[in-house]
């Protein structure tokens, strides 16, 4: 079966092949190492059955396909442009997504987009150039009858030029990159607002040491003022990210990472934030919101938050709360609930979400959460409270607690 | 002129035992390739499950912990059980042929590498029956430590990777010695095919990069099993130490994944352009430069961990610089097309598409070489887009180019060009449908490694689009499987050099005889077959001398079983490890004393 | 007339560089081992000062923390002795290699035996040191000095142990009818490379851990 293999070493066909004309197979097509391009074209034109006749064997020569050339390139280019526009248009849809990184709402993003624009333009130019070159060269140099390949081994001039071009591109990228890198790392001004962001599995704790505020899930900051964030974690690595305002910095246990930026515009809708370093079961659910206030609104918020729990709560509701397991993990200032494993609840009624940004702060959602938090948020460390889920509280008790929590404005 | 053993194009032994005891590099290559491709399909299935879960907001197909296992095992499978072994399959089959040798330097060590790989792959994949690792493929501490990952998943990860690392190390040592020492007369280093060069370069990278990973894994193992605190901050350890150690391995690893595909493409493009590779020295030296530079960029994976500005600046600059040799290769490949007479076989489609899709991945990579930009890109789908463009659009495209190119050489048959075209276009379209939108998702703020996302974030459309794309990829792979299985059953019609290619593997029959070459070539230039043809030089005369090939041996698989048991024992009972050690030692004795004549 | 230098199996045939395949293999493997020990030593250095800063002993050197002086746990005279023993084992290894390369089998066997004995003696010293440290309160989990110290020196000791096993296997095989075969010189030389490497790594460890303050 492989007797023909030894025919490879028969010197005669090699002598018969004209040197340097690699496009020409052996004239008699005995399959001694050359192949026949006509057969390959025929194979393409032929049916599926023809496809397995392969190219090492002379196939029937059908009419060759229309030879490729300029018309096809033009046609392709005409098709590519609208395609590119469509892609671009759809892509830009991403630009006002609620967590879009292309919004410049914070001083960090403002700085980042200086090198980013340069880099995007360079990337776009390189992309278009390489794609165009690939397509054009592939089409222009398709095999054609009588065409011979030019046996080029190299060209020092070109190779030097296209070594220098990437170096130049790199230099152009490098300058704004390094400039922004160092600017973003600058020490914040002395009057920056200090905030500690502490990561837990799977919620964000926020402390304002100078304002004596401890809260969770929501970050409130004044517009236009630099905030100096100290980023920490009590367990695994998390990462603090509000895409429309700033990039991310990781929260590494044992380290005190810092970042500083200001939010540019006060607005009623919050900015959305999320943990962005995989931290376990509910990493996807570890979210938070950032509210940017005017200076006066922020002052007011800070005063309210620093105070102990409002005095207008129902005493019976509070007793019910304090009799429940809650105080083992939660703090409510002004009562003897001083647990620190879970979020501080002193002003939980004023927050828009619970469960670390997962659920709206409504009675219905609170009931789902308190009854069995891990059914809502897998892995939640808060044990189920409802008796139906293995806890100790009846539905009525939970209702009372919900009312209490909602009153903690 | 027939030869003594020359007409024997098939090995004389058949049957399962002959495969288990084989030391023939071609058979070992087939074993690696088939295993690797099977794991590629498995890894793809894991991906389909993830994409199905992410197609809509608040999906309920896969729950959180299972999803973490899916993304962890998808990456580990693709990297260690699919791309690396498929690459190893080509190294095994082609390197001795391309350098004009008859086998690798250490045939039994070669077999041992494969069987150890299979052992490690089994440990890692069968973890699904117990608990698969779920901390991500780079498995950051302290999430990987005992209090946070208390099950056996991370232990499977540690033992599996240690075993796989050992297998890769043995293979790398083998190929380094083979390429250095076994080249045919006249084949200087600068006459070697680019694929051989890239194999040599990644062998050196493996030899130097695997030990740090081993050390990191050992330290993690000790933390989990023996109570040390290397990565536990509360006891004085440093979680970032794991990241440094891992990425010192991890970054060279990604070049280990891509350089072979670049080597394959550097063979396919000239063959089907019918002209030599443009700027061979530049392509070789840029490959070496990439490998050397890969050692000084690792912390670009850690830009957001709170490193100081000066280290970040240094790593940023180094990372941007590594784009230069990469760019040079791309230009050289394009210039190879220029002035050619290009024949678009399926292999050539994949090779040309590689240039495009790999470049997209390279561009997005250089974008986040800038730490300010990376502060937005890191841990988002933008990085997922980048890595899939370089690994799928790069490594996998290159591997498929190699499959279509070398299938005739390995089997004597051709893969169907018609089905190949369907496979190619569906794969290309599907791949771009799946991964291009991930750039948009990253910019739109979608983090990676999340099992679900909320409504109202504008992420739903592109996620659904990407999921559809992933199913298109799956269909294309089914077409490839049909093509493969039908083609292997065709009549063998391929002669030695059906593509009229220039390198030495095409100077022997398809498939080659067990002893590879009837007579050893004398190499006079790069692209030896084209040079010989152009100068009317006949292939070497068969001398009729007795060609002795190494006999088969069961010691490699025996030792591999011992090594695997060592690992399994670490996960269960130490007695199993002891047994494994004894078996391995017995195997080493047998190996050392067994006659090779 | 082309002759076929391609090697079907390593050893004894012409190679492109002239270095025998298995020797080249051992050299390259030792290169990877350099990275292995280098990573372990780097980890040690990363945590070296931090142990003293945290104030949880025992400590490698004499320190005074908050007015309380702590005695350094490393015993340099003892370890210098064990280092000397290991160095001597390299000398005996050289003799074994010489004997193997010059067909002086008795010299080779004695050299191998002596190297093994000295290697085991070194390991004995290590075991003694580990147990002493254990009694003084330093183990794997005590602090990061304990962790890095025991992992580093433990893996080095394991390499010495594997070396002893390696040499012992060769010694046992040398008693067969045709001994280690016609490549005896190469085999023992390659084993010698490994042994000397393990010795050199110890020199580095000894210097970095014990001698440099």
CA distance B90 to B199: 10
DSSP state, residue B183: P
Using CB atoms, pick whichever of A54, A274, A275 lies closest to residue B414.
A54
User: Given an 8 Å threshold on Cβ–Cβ distance, is C147 in contact with B222?
Assistant: yes
Closest approach of chain B CAs to the CA of C137, in angstroms? 15
Quickly name the fold that domain B5-490+498-553 has: Cytochrome C Oxidase; Chain A (1.20.210)
Task: Report chain B residues whose CB lies below 8 A from the CB of C50.
Answer: 236
C160, HSE (Cβ side, Cα atoms, 13 Å): 30
Q: C186 in a domain, yes or no?
A: yes
Q: Which residues contact A58 (CB under 8 A, 6 or more apart)?
A: A29, A31, A36, A39
Task: Report chain A residues whose CB lies below 8 A from the CB of B404.
Answer: none
User: Given an 8 Å threshold on Cβ–Cβ distance, is B327 in contact with A182?
Assistant: no
Q: A220 - beta bridge partners?
A: A291
Q: Is B4 on the interface with A (CB under 8 A)?
A: no
The 3-state DSSP class for residue C63 equals: strand
Same-domain check for residues A18 and A122? yes
CA distance A94 to B445: 9
Confidence of residue B396 (pLDDT cuts 50, 70, 90): very high
pLDDT of res. B174? 96
Q: A263 - beta bridge partners?
A: A106, A223
Spatial strand order in the sheet of A193-200 = A213-216, A203-208, A193-200, A227-233, A257-261
Q: C52 in a domain, yes or no?
A: yes
Q: Is A374 on the interface with B (CB under 8 A)?
A: no
Total number of domains in chain A: 3
Residue in B23, B236, B247, B582 to test binding to C, most C beta-carbons within 10 Å:
B236
- Residue C135 in tokens: 């009694």
Same-domain check for residues A13 and A105? yes
**What is the tens place of the pLDDT at every residue in B346-361?**
999 999 999 999 999 9
Q: C136 in a domain, yes or no?
A: yes
Same-domain check for residues A169 and A32? yes
Q: A150 in a domain, yes or no?
A: no
Are A and C neighbours with ≥3 CB pairs closer than 8 A? no
Instruction: Please write down the HEC assignment for all residues of chain A.
Output: CCHHHHHCCCHHHHHHCCCCCCCCCCCCCCCCCCCCHHHHHHHHHCCHHHHCCCCCCCCCCCCCCCCCCHHHHHHHHHHHHHHHHHHHHHHHHHHHCCCCCCCCCEHHHHHHHHHHHHHHHHHHHHHHHHHHHHHHHHHHCECCCCCCCCCCCCCHHHHHHHHHHHHHHHHHHHHHHHHHHHHHCCCCCCCCEEEEEEEECCEEEEEECCCCEEEECEEEEEECCCEEEEEEECCCCEEEECCCCCCCEEECCCCCEEEEECECCCEEEEEEEEECCCCCCCHHHCEEEEEEECHHHHHHHHHHHHCCCCCCCCHHHHHHHHHCHHHHCCEEECEEEECCCCCCCCCHHHCCEECCCCEECCHHHHHHHHHCHHHHCCCCCCCCCEHHHCCCECHHHHHHHHHHHHHCC
- Going through B121-229 in order, the beta strands assigned E by DSSP cover none
Using CB atoms, pick whichever of B211, B228, B519 lies closest to residue C32.
B211
CB atoms within 10 A of CB B540: 20
CA distance B111 to A148: 44
- Residue C189 in tokens: 């030389």
SS3 content of chain B, % helix, strand, coil (to 5): 70, 0, 30
Q: A261 - beta bridge partners?
A: A227
Residue-level pLDDT, tens digit, chain C, 213 residues: 333 333 333 333 555 555 589 999 999 999 999 999 999 999 999 998 888 888 887 888 888 888 888 888 899 999 999 999 999 999 999 999 999 999 999 999 999 999 999 999 999 999 999 999 999 999 999 999 999 999 999 999 999 999 999 999 999 999 988 888 888 899 999 999 999 999 999 999 999 999 887
CA quadruple A304, A309, A311, A313: dihedral positive or negative? positive
From the number of C-beta atoms within 10 Å of its C-beta (0-12, 13-18, 19+), residue A74 rates as: exposed
User: Given an 8 Å threshold on Cβ–Cβ distance, is C147 in contact with B228?
Assistant: yes
Total number of domains in chain C: 1
- Residue A210 in tokens: 């100078």
- Parallel, antiparallel, or unpaired for β A193-200 and A203-208? antiparallel
- Parallel, antiparallel, or unpaired for β A193-200 and A227-233? parallel
Q: Is C43 on the interface with B (CB under 8 A)?
A: yes
B575, HSE (Cβ side, Cα atoms, 13 Å): 0
CA distance B480 to B497: 23
- Residue A251 in tokens: 């929260």
> Is B329 an annotated catalytic residue?
yes
Nearest to B371 by CA among B417, B319, B334: B319
The 3-state DSSP class for residue B29 equals: helix
Nearest to B457 by CA among B447, B466, B467: B447
Same-domain check for residues A179 and A37? yes
- Parallel, antiparallel, or unpaired for β A257-261 and A213-216? unpaired
pLDDT of res. A74? 60
Same-domain check for residues A161 and A47? yes
Residue in A121, A252, A258, A288 to test binding to B, most B beta-carbons within 10 Å:
A252
pLDDT of res. C11? 39
Nearest to B320 by CA among B255, B371, B369, B251: B369
Mean pLDDT of B507-522: 94
Nearest to A131 by CA among B430, B368, B357, B266: B357
| Catalytically annotated residue among B102, B329, B423, B439 | B329
| Catalytically annotated residue among B3, B35, B127, B167 | B167
Q: Which residues contact B248 (CB under 8 A, 6 or more apart)?
A: B209, B212, B295, B298, C39
User: Given an 8 Å threshold on Cβ–Cβ distance, is B324 in contact with A102?
Assistant: no
Tokens 């030389």 label which residue? C189
Nearest to B6 by CA among B597, B541, B550: B541
Q: C167 in a domain, yes or no?
A: yes
B558, HSE (Cβ side, Cα atoms, 13 Å): 16
Judged against a pLDDT cut of 80, whether residue B248 lies above it is answered with: yes
Q: Which residues contact B8 (CB under 8 A, 6 or more apart)?
A: B513, B514, B515
**What is the tens place of the pLDDT at every residue in B22-41?**
999 999 999 999 999 999 99
Q: Is B363 on the interface with A (CB under 8 A)?
A: yes
pLDDT averaged over every residue in chain B:
95
Closest approach of chain C CAs to the CA of B184, in angstroms? 7
DSSP state, residue B434: H
- Parallel, antiparallel, or unpaired for β A213-216 and C63-65? unpaired
pLDDT of res. A95? 64
Same-domain check for residues A363 and A380? yes
Helix axes B194-226, B280-293, angle to 10 degrees: 10
Judged against a pLDDT cut of 90, whether residue B243 lies above it is answered with: yes
For C176, the domain range is 21-211
- Residue A146 in tokens: 């009588």
CA distance B589 to B2: 40
> Is B74 an annotated catalytic residue?
yes
Q: The CATH number of the domain where C33 resides is what?
A: 1.20.120.80
Percent of chain B residues past pLDDT 70, beyond the cut: 98
Distance between start and end Cα atoms, chain B? 28
Q: What is the chain B residue with the closest CA to C3?
A: B520
For A202, the domain range is 193-303
Q: What is the chain B residue with the closest CA to C38?
A: B212
> Is B13 an annotated catalytic residue?
no
**What is the tens place of the pLDDT at every residue in B473-487?**
999 999 999 999 999
B54, HSE (Cβ side, Cα atoms, 13 Å): 30
Which of A306-315, B278-287, B362-371, B578-587 shows the lowest per-residue confidence on average (mean pLDDT)?
A306-315
Distance from the Cα of residue B86 to its chain's centroid? 6
CA distance B83 to A274: 33
Residue-level pLDDT, tens digit, chain A, 409 residues: 333 333 332 233 333 333 333 333 333 333 333 344 444 444 444 433 334 444 443 434 344 444 444 555 565 565 565 566 656 655 555 567 899 999 999 999 999 999 999 999 999 999 999 999 999 999 999 999 988 999 999 999 999 999 999 999 999 999 999 999 999 999 999 999 999 999 999 999 999 999 999 999 999 999 999 999 999 999 999 999 999 999 999 999 999 999 999 999 999 999 999 999 999 999 999 999 999 999 999 999 999 999 998 888 889 999 999 999 999 999 999 999 999 999 999 999 999 999 999 999 999 999 999 999 999 999 999 999 999 999 999 999 999 999 999 999 9
From the number of C-beta atoms within 10 Å of its C-beta (0-12, 13-18, 19+), residue A311 rates as: exposed
Closest approach of chain A CAs to the CA of B245, in angstroms? 16
Q: Is B131 on the interface with A (CB under 8 A)?
A: no
| Catalytically annotated residue among B24, B145, B223, B253 | B253
Residue in C3, C6, C184 to test binding to B, most B beta-carbons within 10 Å:
C6
CA distance A343 to A361: 14
Closest approach of chain C CAs to the CA of B301, in angstroms? 19
| Catalytically annotated residue among B24, B103, B223, B514 | B103
CB atoms within 10 A of CB B414: 27
Same-domain check for residues A293 and A347? no
Q: Is A28 on the interface with B (CB under 8 A)?
A: no
User: Given an 8 Å threshold on Cβ–Cβ distance, is B417 in contact with A43?
Assistant: yes
- Residue B224 in tokens: 């989990």
CA distance A174 to C167: 56
């Amino acid at each position: 079966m492989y007797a023909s293999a030894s025919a490879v070493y028969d010197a005669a066909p090699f002598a018969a092949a004209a040197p340097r004309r690699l496009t020409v197979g052996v004239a008699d097509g005995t399959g001694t190492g050359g192949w026949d391009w006509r057969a390959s074209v025929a194979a393409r034109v032929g049916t599926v059955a023809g496809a397995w006749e392969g190219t090492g064997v002379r196939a029937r020569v059908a009419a060759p396909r229309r030879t490729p050339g300029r018309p096809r390139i033009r046609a392709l280019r005409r098709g590519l442009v609208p395609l590119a526009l469509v892609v671009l248009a759809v892509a830009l849809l991403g630009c006002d997504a609620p967590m879009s990184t292309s919004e410049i709402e914070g001083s960090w993003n403002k700085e980042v987009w200086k090198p980013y624009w340069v880099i995007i333009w360079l990337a776009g130019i390189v992309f278009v150039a390489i794609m165009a070159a690939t397509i054009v060269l592939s089409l222009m140099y398709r095999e054609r009858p009588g065409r011979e390949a030019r046996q080029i081994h190299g060209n020092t001039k070109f190779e030097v030029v296209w070594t220098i071009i990437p170096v130049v591109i790199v230099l152009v990228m490098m300058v704004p990159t390094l400039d922004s890198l160092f600017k973003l790392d600058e020490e914040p001004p002395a009057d920056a607002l200090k905030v500690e962001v502490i990561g837990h599995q799977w919620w964000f704790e926020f402390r304002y040491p100078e304002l004596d505020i401890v809260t969770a899930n929501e970050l409130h900051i004044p517009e236009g003022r630099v905030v100096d964030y100290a980023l920490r974690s009590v367990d695994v690595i998390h990462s603090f990210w509000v895409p429309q305002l700033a990039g991310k910095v990781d929260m590494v246990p044992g380290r005190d990472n810092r970042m500083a930026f200001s939010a540019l515009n006060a607005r009623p809708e919050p900015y959305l934030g999320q943990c962005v370093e995989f931290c376990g079961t509910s990493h996807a659910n570890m979210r938070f919101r950032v509210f940017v206030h005017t200076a006066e609104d922020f002052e007011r918020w800070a005063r309210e938050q620093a105070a102990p729990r409002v005095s207008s709560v129902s005493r019976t509701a509070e007793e019910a709360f304090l009799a429940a397991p809650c105080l083992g993990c939660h703090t409510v200032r002004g009562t003897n609930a001083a647990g620190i494993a879970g979020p501080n609840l002193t002003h939980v009624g004023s927050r828009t979400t619970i469960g670390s940004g997962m659920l709206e702060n409504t009675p219905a959602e609170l009931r789902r959460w308190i009854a069995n938090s891990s059914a809502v948020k897998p892995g939640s460390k808060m044990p189920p409270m409802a008796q139906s889920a293995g806890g100790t509280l009846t539905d009525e008790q939970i209702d009372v607690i919900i009312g209490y929590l909602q009153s903690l404005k | 002129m027939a030869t003594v053993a020359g007409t024997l194009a098939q090995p004389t032994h058949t049957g399962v035992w002959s495969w288990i005891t084989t030391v023939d590099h071609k058979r070992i290559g087939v074993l690696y390739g088939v295993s690797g491709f099977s794991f590629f399909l498995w890894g793809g299935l894991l991906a389909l499950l993830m994409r199905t879960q992410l197609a809509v907001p608040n999906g309920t197909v896969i729950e959180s912990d299972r999803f973490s296992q899916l993304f962890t095992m998808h990456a580990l499978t693709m990297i260690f059980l699919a791309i690396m072994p498929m690459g190893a399959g080509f190294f095994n089959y082609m390197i001795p042929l391309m350098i004009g040798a008859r086998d690798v330097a250490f045939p039994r060590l070669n077999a041992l590498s494969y069987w150890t790989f299979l052992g490690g792959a089994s440990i890692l994949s069968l973890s699904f029956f117990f608990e698969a690792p779920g901390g991500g493929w780079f498995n950051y501490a302290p999430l990987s430590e005992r209090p946070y990952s208390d099950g056996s998943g991370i232990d499977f990860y540690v033992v599996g990777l240690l075993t796989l690392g050992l297998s890769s190390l043995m293979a790398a040592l083998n190929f380094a010695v083979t390429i250095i020492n076994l080249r045919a007369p006249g084949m200087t280093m600068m006459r070697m095919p680019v694929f051989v060069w890239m194999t040599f370069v990644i062998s050196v990278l493996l030899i130097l990069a695997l030990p740090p990973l081993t050390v990191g894994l050992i330290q993690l193992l000790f933390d989990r099993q023996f109570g040390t605190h290397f990565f536990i901050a509360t006891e004085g350890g440093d979680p970032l130490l794991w990241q440094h150690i891992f990425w010192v391995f991890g970054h060279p690893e990604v070049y280990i994944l891509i350089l072979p595909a670049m080597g394959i493409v550097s063979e396919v493009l000239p063959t089907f352009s019918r002209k030599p590779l443009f700027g061979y020295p530049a392509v070789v030296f840029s490959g070496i430069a990439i490998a050397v530079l890969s050692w000084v960029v690792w912390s670009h994976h850690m830009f957001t961990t709170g490193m100081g500005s000066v280290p970040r600046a240094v790593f940023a600059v180094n990372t941007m610089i590594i784009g230069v040799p990469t760019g040079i290769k791309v230009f050289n490949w394009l210039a190879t097309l220029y002035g050619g007479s290009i024949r678009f076989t399926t292999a050539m489609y994949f090779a040309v598409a590689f240039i495009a899709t790999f470049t997209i991945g390279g561009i997005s990579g250089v974008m986040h070489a800038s730490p300010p930009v990376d502060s937005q890109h890191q841990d988002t789908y933008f990085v997922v887009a980048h890595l899939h463009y370089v690994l799928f659009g790069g490594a996998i495209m290159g591997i498929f180019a190699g499959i279509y190119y070398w299938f005739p050489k390995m089997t004597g048959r051709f893969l169907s060009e018609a089905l190949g075209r369907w496979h190619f276009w569906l794969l290309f379209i599907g791949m771009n449908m799946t991964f291009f939108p991930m750039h948009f998702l990253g910019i739109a703020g979608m983090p990676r490694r999340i099992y679900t996302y909320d409504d109202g974030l504008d992420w739903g459309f592109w996620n659904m689009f990407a999921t559809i794309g992933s199913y298109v990829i799956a269909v294309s792979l089914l077409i490839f499987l049909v093509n493969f299985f039908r083609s292997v059953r065709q009549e063998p019609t391929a002669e030695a050099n059906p593509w009229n290619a220039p390198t030495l593997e095409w100077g022997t029959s398809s498939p080659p005889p067990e002893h590879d070459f009837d007579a050893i070539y004398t190499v006079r230039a790069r692209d030896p077959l084209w040079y010989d043809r152009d100068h009317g030089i006949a292939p070497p005369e068969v001398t009729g001398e007795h060609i002795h090939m190494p006999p088969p041996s069961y010691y490699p698989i025996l030792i591999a079983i011992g090594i695997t048991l060592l690992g399994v024992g670490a996960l269960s009972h130490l007695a199993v490890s002891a047994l494994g050690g004894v078996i391995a030692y017995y195997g080493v004795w047998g190996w050392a004393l067994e006659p090779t004549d | 007339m082309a002759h076929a230098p391609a090697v079907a199996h390593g050893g004894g045939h012409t190679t492109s560089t002239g270095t025998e395949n298995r020797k080249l293999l051992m050299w390259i493997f030792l290169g990877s081992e350099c990275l292995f020990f280098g990573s372990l030593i780097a980890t040690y250095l990363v945590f070296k000062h931090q142990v003293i800063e945290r104030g949880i002993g025992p400590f490698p050197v004499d320190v005074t923390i908050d007015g309380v002086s702590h005695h350094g746990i490393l015993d340099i005279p003892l370890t210098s002795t064990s280092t000397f023993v290991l160095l001597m084992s390299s000398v005996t290894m050289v003799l074994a290699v010489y004997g193997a390369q010059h067909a002086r089998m008795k010299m080779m066997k004695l050299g191998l035996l002596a190297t093994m004995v000295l290697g085991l003696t070194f390991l004995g010293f290590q075991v003694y040191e580990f147990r002493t440290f254990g009694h003084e309160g330093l183990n794997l989990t005590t602090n990061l000095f304990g962790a890095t110290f025991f992992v580093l020196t433990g893996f080095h000791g394991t390499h010495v142990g594997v070396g002893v096993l390696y040499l012992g296997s060769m010694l046992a095989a040398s008693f067969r009818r045709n001994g280690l075969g016609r490549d005896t010189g190469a085999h023992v030389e390659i084993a010698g490379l490994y042994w000397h490497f393990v010795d050199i790594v110890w020199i580095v460890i000894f210097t970095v851990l014990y001698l440099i303050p």
